[in-house]
Amino acid sequence: MRIGLYLPSLEGGGIERLYLGLARQWIERGHLVELALNERRGELLGDVPHGVRIVDLGVRRQAASVPALIRYLRGSRPNVVMAGHDHNNIMLCAAGFARTGRTRIVASQHNTLSANDTRGAKFGPVPLLYRALFGQADAIVAVSSGVADDLAVSCHLPRERIDVIHNGIVPDDLAARMVAPVDPALYPTGVPTIVAMGRMVEQKDFATLLTAFARVRQLRPARLVILGDGPLRPALEAQAQDLGITGDVAMPGFVDTPFAHLARASLFVLSSRHEGFGNVVAEALACGTPVVSTDCKHGPAEILEGSRYGILVPVADPAAMASAIGDALDRSWDREELRQRGASFSEAAGAARYLELFRRIAQRGVSEQTRKEVA
């Protein structure tokens, strides 16, 4: 099977890492995999698995990608192509009107659509365009049941048209990645260290985490390591200064060994206002690391099965988060149970579920009936 994955670029991000892991699994199973990129750039270019073909569409503006996608679909003739961002879904489905042969199109939704600023120019048209164009999709995939429900309501799509496939993001070589070297100064012996990870943007709400950590720090020794970078870094550094916790907070920036940090953490905290899935929650569990997470829409509660595998707290509530962090640090966790839960989100399991979907839709075309279901 020839599988195409359509992305803007390979700049670091959860979707990009997910797709590289899926590509690795499919290559190992004997399939041909192509990465169709608007631009061949990004820090993850060096992580592309051997054997994966990169197709540079050569477009700088998303709106200009449709002609390039049509040329790709007609020239390469993949059996299936899957997009992984809102605007990529739209462009791929638009290009689907001009496809030839038996290429199947899969649109995948990774975020809570209703959480986007639908009043803005960037996301405002998305629900309408989804509704107009998703008739060209042979399958629609959401990464969590909550995202699927939200997508159906936001775009007036039949819920039964949407498949749910949880992200498979735990790699086969997890054990080796967990022992990769990290800066030992980040994890001093005898001091519990809390790790958070993500782009420094409002969605991740590290401001609430810093306020909660300041409360924790008043009661016990602890350290906080926030991995990642982004436009809010200066504001977060200033907040840590104002809270008087600068000496106990580290922000080392983007790291290419996240599992090594998660394995050394006493606790992982997700402070997000919303998530489509929450990859790093599953990654932390796979390392046997306890988790405190906001009960944000929509992924974390599904991963943690409520409070079975972690502690959920309200969004933007520093007092509740501080209390939960203290409880988590004091609790005796069954680390092996956490690892087993995390292992259920393996790359191999996710790749197998997608292949099952691809084979199913390969048995049929884009019929008029399918289009009427969405139109």
The residue type found at 56 is: D
Percent of the chain scoring above 70 in pLDDT: 94
Q: Taking all residues of the chain, what is their mean pLDDT, rounded to a whole number?
A: 92
- pLDDT for residue 366: 45
Q: What is the DSSP string of 233-282?
A: HHHHHHHHHHHT-GGGEEEEE--S-HHHHHHH-SEEEE--SEESS-HHHH
Tens digits of residue pLDDT in 101-132 = 789 999 999 988 887 654 444 456 889 999 99
Tens digits of residue pLDDT in 198-239 = 999 999 999 999 999 999 999 999 999 999 999 999 999 999
Identify the CA nearest to 323 among candidates 197, 174, 212: 212
The answer to whether 295 touches 310, Cβ cutoff 8 Å, is no
Token readout for 219 is 């009661």
| 2-168+348-374 and 174-345 share one fold | yes
The residue type found at 327 is: D
Which fold, 2-168+348-374? Rossmann fold (3.40.50)
> Which residues, other chains included, contact 310 with Cβ-Cβ below 8 Å and sequence gap of 6+?
281, 285, 290, 291, 292, 293, 300, 304, 328
Give the E-state strand segments of 144-222 in sequence order.
Answer: 162-164, 193-197
Residue corresponding to tokens 């169709």: 36
Whether the per-residue pLDDT at 372 is higher than 70: the answer is no
Domain ranges for the chain: 2-168+348-374, 174-345
How many residues does this entry show for the chain? 375
Radius of gyration from C-alpha coordinates of the chain: 21
Which fold, 174-345? Rossmann fold (3.40.50)
Three-class secondary structure of residue 36 per DSSP = strand
Of 71-75, 135-139, 255-259, the range with the lowest mean pLDDT is 255-259
pLDDT band at 298 (very low <50, low <70, confident <90, very high): confident
CA-angle at 198, arms to 193 and 201, nearest 5°: 120
Residue 107: in which H helix or E strand, if any? Answer: strand 104-109
- pLDDT for residue 104: 96
Give pTM, 2 decimals: 0.87
Alpha helix ranges (H) inside the chain:
14-28, 65-76, 86-95, 126-133, 145-155, 174-178, 206-219, 233-243, 258-264, 279-286, 299-304, 318-330, 335-343, 347-362, 368-374
Longest dimension (CA), the chain: 65
Q: Dihedrals φ, ψ of 283, to 5°?
A: -65, -40
Residues 212, 214: Cα–Cα separation, whole Å: 5
- pLDDT for residue 117: 53
Identify the CA nearest to 205 among candidates 83, 141, 294: 294
Tens digits of residue pLDDT in 309-359 = 999 999 999 999 999 999 999 999 999 999 999 999 999 999 999 999 999
Residues 35, 100: Cα–Cα separation, whole Å: 19
Residues 51, 108: Cα–Cα separation, whole Å: 24
Three-class secondary structure of residue 208 per DSSP = helix
